[in-house]
Structure formats: C-alpha cells, structure tokens
Amino acid sequence: MPAEISPESTAYRAALDVIRAVEPRVADAIGQEVADQREMLKLIASENYASPATLLAMGNWFSDKYAEGTIGRRFYAGCRNVDTVESLAAEHARELFGARHAYVQPHSGIDANLVAFWAVLGARVEVPFLEKTGARQVNDLTDADWAELRQAFGNQRMLGMSLDAGGHLTHGFRPNISGKMFDQRSYGTDPATGLIDYEALRASAREFKPLIIVAGYSAYPRLVNFRIMREIADEVGATLMVDMAHFAGLVAGKVLTGDFDPVPHAQIVTTTTHKSLRGPRGGMVLCDDSLKDQVDRGCPMVLGGPLPHVMAAKAVALAEARRPAFQDYAQRIVDNARALAEGLTKRGATLVTGGTDNHLNLIDVASSYGLTGRQAEAALLDSGIVTNRNAIPADPNGAWYTSGIRIGTPALTTRGLGTAEMDEVAGLIDRVLTATEPGTTKSGAPSKASHVLDAKVADEISHRATDLVAGFPLYPEIDLG
C-alpha cells in the first residue's frame, strides 16, 4: 500500500507543477534548494527553517496589493484583508513580546532599524523643532527653518556596539547609512573577560551624550543586561534602542527574561523575523507609546510599500511562536549551543568569552588552529559544514579575513538535533580544523586566504555530516515525489 501523501506534499507538488509549466528551471531550482538544504549541516547563526504554513502564506494574492499607510488608514482602497493580516501579525507580536505597540511592515532587519532611527529623530528632533517654530508640520516651515532642521537631523550622536565585539554594521558604521547619518562612537568588551564593560560604556555615554544608545549584536555569545543599559541611557538622556535580530526567538521562547528581555527596558526594539524567531524573511519594530506614532510613519518615510503576503506569513509564524512548543524549542537552542561549546572546548578549541549563554559560539580559529576565519570557513565548507567567518575582539586578521568562526544552533535545533549530536558536530569541526593548514601565496609566503585540506579528510567528514543530518529529516512531511 503506498504511504499516504501529506497535505504539504500535495500542496508543494501542485505548486511546482504550476511553476514548471511557465519556467521549468525555476521549479527545478526550488526543488534543488530543498534537496541541498536537507543535506547541509547548517550552523549559520542567522538562518533557520520556516514552517510550511509560514512559507505557504507568502505565495498568494496579497502580493498584488498596495497598502501604503497603516491598519485602517491606507492611501489605497480595497485593503480590508491586508488590514486583517497586518492586525493579526501586530496582535501576535504584542502578545508574544508583551509590547505596547508592534509595527510589522519592515521588509528586513536593516529596514526596521531605519524606521527606528527616524522614529527617534522624529520624536526627539523634529517634534520639538516644530513646537519651537509653531509650525504644524514640516511643509509649513520656512526654507530657513527647514534648512536648520535638516542640519539638526544630521548632527545627532549614536553609541553602538563595536563591530569586532559583535555589533552590526547598521549600528552607526560608515559603510551603512546609519554611519553617514549619525556621529557614532562605539563601546566594546573587556579584553580580559570578553564581556560588555558596562562601566566603560557608562563613562563613554556620559562624555559623548548620545541621542540613541543601540544595544544588540550579531556575534556576541553572552547575555546583555538591558536593565543596566536603560539605566545608563536614562542617566544621559538617550533613547535605548535594542536590535534583537539574532535573539528574538530566545525572547519569544522566554529563555531571555527579566534583565535580559529587552522589551520592558528599551523604548524601541527592532528585529528580523527570519533568524531564531523562525518566520518569513522580514523585520519588525516594537515600541512604547512615546514612539508609536512616529514608528507608524515608516512607510513611506523610509520603506517601500508594505509586503502584505509577508505580513500574512509573519502572523502565521508569530502564532506558532506563541505555542508552548516554541518555548521548548528556544530552550533546546541554548542547550545545544552550550553542548557545542563544551564539545569544542574539551577538544582544545578556544571560544571567545570561553563559552555561550545564547544561541551562538565564536571559535577563535587563529589561536586554536593557526587559521584565519576565511581559511576555516572554506575548509569546513569543503567538508559539508556551513558556517561563516566573523571578526573577534581586536582581531589580528582584520574584518575581511578575520580570526573567528561563528556557529549557531537555531537551524539544527529545528531539525531536532540534540546535545548528543552537538558533541558529534564539535568533533567534526575539530577534525576538519586540525587537519587544515594555511596555504601559501605564489611567492611562497603564508596566505591568509587559501587553505590546504586533504581531500580524503574533507570527503570523509562530509559523508559523516550528511549521515548525521539524515537522521533528522528536514520537512519530513514534504515529499516532492
């Protein structure tokens, strides 16, 4: 008797047939992508696997709607169903995170940060300026006043976490627009412990007097005390903004609570929805009442028209995150990261800060294995292990080659791998990196870019990695036939 075909398999087979009839190469690429993902040992800390319900919510007629404006106040007609899904996503977000207000339109984490920066500039620079001049809105300002206000927008200060300590480019660094908008200074970590140095941060904030203090990270393996951050922000009259793009799933899953939950402490919190939160690609802003009206101006202030199909998928993913099973998932992410840390440490690897409290670890591959991050990343990829290189504090190899490998557990935890498998994963990583040597340049000098790894070792580890994940099928409910 043939096995019963699941509704998910039926849905995807039919969808691929419809696509195949128009452009078969796209249907094939979609099929190949899921096949590749099934074989990968994915340790990229910012990636995950969204549920079929979340993915399916994105492929439909909502994609055709323009919906500029906010719920119930649109610049376009015919938005009642968009209002429904945007309201649902916002309601789930408020309930899940205990936030006063949720804005679910941002298309990505970077977009959410831009909305947040301009909400703070609106509330703290534009509104007081309008009050001072007696104008009701910017269009009523004289040319001279408008010029003065534009100067004021461009002369604000931001304090953000330094890149090599794990901060993000959008926290005021020059290659990103945030660095071109703000006069930025960064705070880092204590060289002795690798932990955020709150007293140094406080001293810097007192001296610099920033408009915004940004907390949050992409590559910091420890907890951040947001109660202390808010205390410092209040002391210097700054707005505390937390970018929880990486760890939103741990907040949603109640692993990060009290001082470590940013939502009760920060005036404004931004996030992606596709990392540990496991939703569709996208962003979101949570805020208190003081910034709500400004945040809702995100589109058309800095965002293009909202993506209603993605907001529908956000509503589905946030509904999933409100289920008790998600709390269990979040706890397993952290247990797995810790098991990975222990497995690596006992094999002699050095981890930045010596371990982890969240979903990620940062291996110092320069001091552990004499490799650059780039060499380690490539050697691991040769061996079927997908990671990414990352700078470490005071990185001797700079931001391009780096000395770190960042590994995260949200994706493997979604597949069901547990702490015993994490020890095996640690063993595979250690085997590869121990067997890898730096390459040499044409003139025979040591290279920071190329590496040498015996193909037999790469092949053997690659097979072991594939066998390991094969025991934890990705999307077991989906069989494309």
Ligand X SMILES: *Cc1c(COP(=O)(O)O)cnc(C)c1O
User: Which residues are annotated binding-site positions?
Assistant: 163, 167-169
- Using left for φ > 0, alpha for ψ between -120 and 50, and beta otherwise, residue 368 falls in alpha
CB of 149 to ligand X, least distance (A): 28
Under rule CB under 6 A, residue 108 binds ligand X: yes
Q: 358 vs 368, which CB is nearer to ligand X? A: 358
Binding of residue 216 to ligand X (CB under 6 A): yes
In terms of CB distance, is 216 or 298 closer to ligand X? 216
What are the counts of helices (DSSP H) followed by strands (DSSP E) for the chain?
Answer: 21, 16
Which residue, 278 or 464, is less far from ligand X as judged by CB? 278
Q: Is 273 a catalytic residue?
A: no
272 labelled catalytic: yes
Is 218 near ligand X (CB under 6 A)? Answer: yes
Q: Residue 31's closest CA among 476, 481, 471?
A: 481
- Give the whole-angstrom CA distance, residue 418 versus residue 352: 23
Member of 74, 230, 246, 332 binding ligand X (CB under 6 A): 246
User: Where do runs of H (alpha helix) occur along 353-416?
Assistant: 365-369, 373-382, 398-401, 410-415
Q: Which of 230, 275, 332, 464 is catalytic?
A: 275
* Residue 441 falls in the annotated catalytic set: no
The minimum distance between CB 427 and ligand X, in angstroms, equals 28
Quick check: is 65 catalytic? Answer: no
Distance in Å, CB of 132 to ligand X, minimum:
34
- 378 vs 245: CA distance, rounded Å: 26
Is residue 390 involved in binding ligand X (CB under 6 A)? no
Contact 297, 119 (CB under 8 A): yes
Of 66, 83, 202, 342, the catalytic one is 66
Examine the residue annotation and report whether 467 is marked as an active-site residue of this protein: no
Scanning 103-111, 248-256, 421-429, 468-476 for contacts with ligand X by CB under 6 A, the matching segment is 103-111
Catalytic-role residue among 68, 231, 288, 293: 68
Catalytic residue among 243, 320, 357, 382: 243
H or E segment and range at residue 232: helix 226-236
- Answer yes or no: 387 catalytic: no
> Which residue's CB is nearer to ligand X, number 12 or number 118?
118
Beta strand 360-364 pairing with 404-408:
antiparallel
Residue 385 CB neighbour total at 10 angstroms: 24
Residue 261, classified by CB atoms within 10 Å of its CB into exposed (0-12), middle (13-18) or buried (19+), is buried
Number of other CB atoms surrounding residue 18 within 10 Å: 9
Nearest residue to ligand X on Cβ basis: 109
278 binds ligand X (CB under 6 A): no
Residue 351 forms beta bridges with which residues? 363
Which residues are the active-site residues? 66, 68, 243, 272, 275, 281
Binding site for ligand X (CB under 6 A): 46, 108-110, 168, 170, 216-218, 243, 245-246, 272, 283
